[in-house]
Amino acid sequence: MDWVNGIVQGVLVGGLFALFATGLSLIFGVMKIVNIAHGDLIVAAAYLAFTIIQLSGLHPVTSLVIVIPIATAAGYLLQTTILNRMLGKDILPPLLVTFGLSIIIQNVLLEIYSADSRRLRAGLIETGSFPLAPGIDIGYLPLMTFLAAVIVVAALQFVFYRTELGRAFRAVSDDPEASQLMGLDNRRIYGFAMALCLAVVAIAGIFLATRANFDPFMGPSRLIFGFEAVIIGGLGNLWGTLAGGVILGVAQAIGAQIDPGWQLLAGHVAFLVILAIRPQGLFPKGTS
C-alpha cells in the first residue's frame, strides 16, 4: 500500500511541477526563448506572498488577489524594458541575461530575507486530508494544487485557441514579421505573454510555499523540474506538460520509496531516459 500511496502522492505533486512548467512552455512557445530565471521568479513570488501575508494577515490562497496583479505587472515590465531588447536570431543574449537575472534575484532575496527557510501557513487546507482508500489519504493542499494545475492548463489552452490575444500569441510565434505587417505590435504581445506567464508563476509560488519550506536558492531546481516536465510531455503541448509533470512526480515518488536519497535522482533519470528513447517527448505538438 505504501507504493500505491507513494504513486498517488506523486501524481498530485506532478500538478505542482506542471505549474512550474506551463509558464516556461508559454514563453518558449511565443518567443522561442528559455527564461533561466523562471524558477527564481517563482521563489520571488513566494516571498512576495510571504510579505503580503505578514502585513495583511491574509490567507495564502486569498493573497493571490494581490500577488497576481503585482507579478503580472512585473512580468510586463521585465519583458518590455529588458527582454524585448534581447530578442533576435541569436539565442545567446536572452539566455545569458536571464541567467544573470537568476543570480541577481537569488542574492537580492538573500539580502532581504536572509537564508532562513520560510513557509506559508494555510491552516486546515495545509494539514487536512480525507481517506480515498485504506492507507491512502488525499491531502487538501496537494489536491488543490493539482486542480489548480488543471484549471491553469485549461485556461491557457482557452486563451491560446479561443481568444484574440491567443491568436496574436500564435501569430507572433509562427511568423513575427508577417504578424507585424498585419498590424500587431510584437513587443507588446511579448509583454502580455510574459505578464500571463508571471500570473502562473505567482500561483506556482503560493502552492510551492504552502507545501514545503522555501529559501532564496531553491529557484534553479524548480526551473529544472519545470523544464523536465516540458520535455517529457512534448514541446508545445500544454496538456502534455501536465502529463510530464505527473510522470516526473511519480518517478520521484518511486525513487523516494526505494531510498530517500534517490528521490531527485529518479526524476532526473526518468527525464534522461525519455530524452534518450523519445526526444520529441511523449505527446509532441500535433498529437493532441
- Residue closer to other proteins by CB (options 34, 143) is 34
Q: From the CB of 193, what's the least distance to other proteins, in Å?
A: 16
CB closer to other proteins, 65 vs 96: 96
The enclosing H or E element of 67 equals helix 60-81
- In the complex, least distance from residue 140 CB atom to other proteins, rounded to whole angstroms: 31
For the chain, the C-alpha Rg in angstroms (whole number) is 19
**Best CA proximity match to 114, nearest among 50, 64, 196, 68:** 50
**Measured from the CB atom, is 53 or 194 closer to other proteins?**
194
**For other proteins, the closer CB: 70 or 264:** 264
CB 283, CB 233: distance < 8 Å: yes
Residue (of 6, 9, 14) closest to 229 by Cα position: 14
Please, what is the minimum distance in Å from the beta carbon of residue 214 to other proteins?
A: 17
C-alpha cell recorded at residue 27: 514563453
In the complex, the smallest distance separating the C-beta of residue 124 from other proteins, rounded to whole angstroms, is: 35
Packing angle between helix 2-31 and helix 219-233, nearest 10 degrees? 90
Tell me which H or E stretch contains 1.
Answer: none
Determine phi and psi for 129, rounding to 5 degrees. Answer: -155, 165
CA dihedral 81, 219, 151, 236 (to 10 degrees): 70
Supply the minimum distance, in Å, between the C-beta of residue 272 and other proteins.
6
- Residue 85 has, within 13 A of its CA and on its CB side, a CA count of 8
User: Which of 125, 265 has the CB closer to other proteins?
Assistant: 265
- What minimum distance in Å lies between the beta carbon of 269 and other proteins? 7
Give the H/E segment covering residue 256: helix 238-258
The residue among 97 and 193 lying less far from other proteins, judged by its C-beta, is: 97
Q: Which residue has the cell 512534448?
A: 234
Give the Cα-Cα-Cα angle 269, 275, 276 (nearest 5 degrees): 90
Q: Nearest approach, Cβ of 201 to other proteins (angstroms)?
A: 17
With respect to other proteins, which residue has the nearer C-beta, 36 or 152? Answer: 36
Please tell me whether residue 124 adopts helix, strand or coil conformation: helix
Q: What is the DSSP letter of 32?
A: S
Whether residue 43 contacts residue 222, with contact meaning beta carbons closer than 8 Å, is answered with: yes
Binding interface with other proteins (CB under 8 A): 28, 32-34, 36, 82, 85-86, 91-97, 99-101, 103-104, 106-108, 110-111, 220-221, 223-224, 227-228, 231, 261-262, 264-265, 268-269, 271-272, 275-276, 279
CB of 268 to other proteins, least distance (A): 5
Q: 111 or 164, CB closer to other proteins?
A: 111
